[in-house]
Amino acid sequence: MPLVAHNALPTFSRLQARGQEVLSLERAQQQDIRELHIGLLNMMPDAALTATEAQFMGLVGACEQTAQFFVYPFSLAELNRGARANAHINQYYYDFADLADQGLDALIITGANVANPSLDQEPFWEPLIEVVRWAEDNVASILCSCLATHALLKHRYGIDRQRLPQKQWGVYSHRISLPAHPLMRGINTRFDAPHSRYNEISRSQLDEAGLIVLIESPEAGVHLAVSPDQIRMVYFQGHPEYDSNSLLKEYKREVSRYLSDERQSAPRYPEHYFSDEAIEIAAMYMERAEKAKSNGRAPPEFPEKDLESLVDNTWGDTGKAIINNWLGLVCQLTSLDRKLQFMPGVDPDDPLHLGS
């Protein structure tokens, strides 16, 4: 069932333009269908703020469960923002205090940019943990992406992420580690998923903490794990939400940084992402751009559209299927009263009756 456009957030119109069904609030109120209320804590930097909204809301809106999905984006005041992003947040985002008062069924937490060696030194750390502590006692499940996973694992288990020799960046083959888990229902046993990170938490660290690994890659490590109760915390280390061109835009940004001397070396290509033809186009561009730079001229226009036409999305359907399973489980566990964490009779220590 579709997303409900419950405010004027432009992302609703953008998703409709892409062909996704979005209900107006008026139409939604005329239907006698279960509502599911989901918070979206968007901590991404300004350049990715609205794209991240659309990515996660698109995944939720693609869900096949019989429910109307109300997604409430909010952010943290301690994140460094420019005027334009602040204006967007002030106009369209919700206050966490209001959401906490009204109640939520589930919470999604995005990644973020960091500047300090330890996550607990970031200005947003304490406000983030305040949100998480509330959610631990008030929502059925918290789903984290990339850096949010690292932050919550540090908060809950004292696990410190480890710096990688080089950035884990690209699209990697993965396998399901626990096919019988309800989140893996209907998922192919082997599939691709994007990663984009300088740090990782290893399988051995997760095993030692008693967490359950569901998906991993021999090249990229763990993609998805869950808390010992099997559902209340869902930890993605990769990016199921990424669009086809997300890694391309990251590559374009790094090329721009190199050409403006913000980084010393030209960026690597995202692994297993560009086709041979795309690599040839990118290499030709870099040759022309470096020549222009050495002659004191502006670089030529980056061939984004040419490269985008050569990029395949080999992970989107799997991401949608996992989120569909997650939301289906949230529907099963929660009450019609969004202020209640679970429906009566649910064991918080074993919500899915899997004997965890």
Q: Report, as residue numbers or ranges, the catalytic residues.
A: 146, 239, 241
Residue 220: count of CB within 10 angstroms of its CB: 24
Count Cα atoms within 13 angstroms, Cβ side, for 154. 20
**The token pair that represents 9 in the structure block:** 């957030």
Instruction: Of 83, 68, 56, give the one whose Cα is nearest residue 27.
Output: 68
Compute the C-alpha angle 208/211/214, nearest 5°.
Answer: 125
Contact between 265 and 258 under an 8 Å Cβ cutoff? The reply is yes
Label residue 303 exposed, middle or buried (CB < 10 Å: 0-12, 13-18, 19+): middle
